[in-house]
Amino acid sequence: MLEGIEFANPEFFWLLLLLPLAVLWYFFKRKEQAASLKISTIKGFKNNGILPKLKPLLFLFRLLALASIIVAMARPQTEDISTRTKTTKGIDIVMAIDVSSSMLARDLKPNRLAALKEVASDFIKERPNDRIGLVVYAGEAFTKTPITSDKSIVLSALREITYGQLNDGTAIGMGLATSVNRLKESKAISKIIILLTDGVNNSGFIEPRTAADLAVEFDIKTYTIGLGTNGNALSPIAYNADGSYRYGMRQVEIDEELLKEIAKVSGGKYFRATDNEKLEAIYDEINKLEKTEIEEFKYYKYEEKFRPWVLLAGALLMLEWLLRNTLFRSFI
């Protein structure tokens, strides 16, 4: 009966302490409440049956009625909460991903590109209220997915990213400029680019600094990530006869100064990911830095449940009155 019930005025339960006092009062005073009569013999009362012994039931009914009234005064009620959220600050995000051959290096497990896709997928899932787009670049750049709020489309496109879709090379300026082009018409309050690369700019016809200036002009913040271990990494160096990659140790070269400059001028931040755990931590940090403000409205609906207790108390009192004036009348 009390499952899922809360009480609006639980302080009334202190009145339940009166019940033990009432019981004590009843047992100490009940003899004084009964009239006494001196007679010469009690032979005529020997076969009165069990009814006199049930007389305390009348007090029990009254006691239960009082307890029910106290419960009703505590206002039992059920609560139904409905929520509605309103995004007050939307963020548009473009993730610019390097897909050059060096992204197949195995200093991250199983390789840089696969590790990035796994971490980026988690990042996308944790941004349910933002629009996200994908840009891929190597020797050239193109938009894989325009900014959209449909995360299933973005995640599907992310899974499809592989090496070999573009001419090899690292056109950082092209990747950044293409990302800016995707965001320049955005009406979002906050616009950011997450640009990841594992090399130095060696392709494309747009200089990275020129693309960074474009980002500043359109008020787009850029976070840059340099991906790769310090020193040498097992990387593709040639093709085998069967078309598979031949791996060898190559020096990891990342233009960190350029990435730091791009991030600084646009108000972003530069990160260096040397392993899977560090890459994951970087995306977690960006996720915390760029928070979407959400306003949540809660609606409370209360349904009062005191009426059954009042009816129960009334029924008990009525039963006590009827028994007192009928069945137990000759014994009171």
Instruction: For residue range 216-266, list pLDDT tens digits in order.
Output: 999 999 999 999 998 899 998 888 888 788 899 999 999 999 999 999 999
- pLDDT on residue 296: 57
pLDDT-above-90 percentage for the chain: 51
- pLDDT on residue 222: 97
* Angle of CA points 270, 227, 277, to nearest 5°: 95
**What mean pLDDT comes out for the span 201-216?**
95
Q: How far apart are CA 160 and CA 151, in angstroms?
A: 14
306 close to 75: Cβ distance less than 8 angstroms: yes
| Residue 22: band (very low, low, confident or very high) from pLDDT cuts 50, 70, 90 | confident
**Domain over 91-291 is classified CATH 3.40.50.410:** yes
Instruction: For residue range 23-53, list pLDDT tens digits in order.
Output: 788 777 765 555 555 655 555 555 555 666 6
Q: Could you tell me which of 205, 185, 187, 182 has the C-alpha nearest to residue 195? A: 182
Q: Is 220 exposed, middle or buried (0-12, 13-18, 19+ CB in 10 A)?
A: buried
Q: Domain residues of the chain, as ranges?
A: 6-37+46-81+299-331, 91-291
pLDDT-above-70 percentage for the chain: 86
Quickly list H helices, the chain.
18-33, 56-73, 112-125, 151-160, 172-183, 208-217, 256-266, 276-289, 307-325
DSSP code for 21: H
Query: Is the pLDDT at 87 greater than 60, yes or no?
Result: no
β-sheet bridge partners, residue 299: 82
State pTM to two decimals.
Answer: 0.65
125-134, 182-191, 215-224, 316-325: range with lowest mean pLDDT: 316-325
* Angle of CA points 104, 243, 139, to nearest 5°: 45
